[in-house]
Amino acid sequence: MNASLLRIRRAGFTLIETVVVVALTALIMITLSFLIQYFYKTNAYALQQIEAINSARLSVENAVTDLREADYGADGSYPVAAAATSSVTFYANLDSSTTTIKKVRFYLDG
């Protein structure tokens, strides 16, 4: 008779075992959620950096294309009128439909 009672007692989980399993599962789930959140933030930051770099690259490509069109001004002035750390002024015909050479200024704002 004692052997049959002993089998019945071993058939289930105790309250302490259940609480420990629930606590460990909750700890693992919380850790995983923080890791996933961290990876999403890191990924979003990397995507923003890539977008900013591509925007800067396209801007520089457009500026270089326009600077290659630099030509002497209508009054005979040099193609590059002024160059500073945050701006450049030059003469160019950027509108191919006309023959007018215009003064163009690129500058860094902000």
Reduce the DSSP state of residue 81 to 3 states and report it. Answer: strand
pLDDT of residue 4: 61
Of 89, 101, 84, nearest in space to 63 by CA: 89
Q: What is the full per-residue pLDDT of the chain (110 aa) written as tens digits?
A: 565 655 555 667 889 999 999 999 999 999 999 999 999 999 999 999 999 999 999 999 998 998 998 889 888 889 999 999 999 999 998 887 777 888 999 998 87
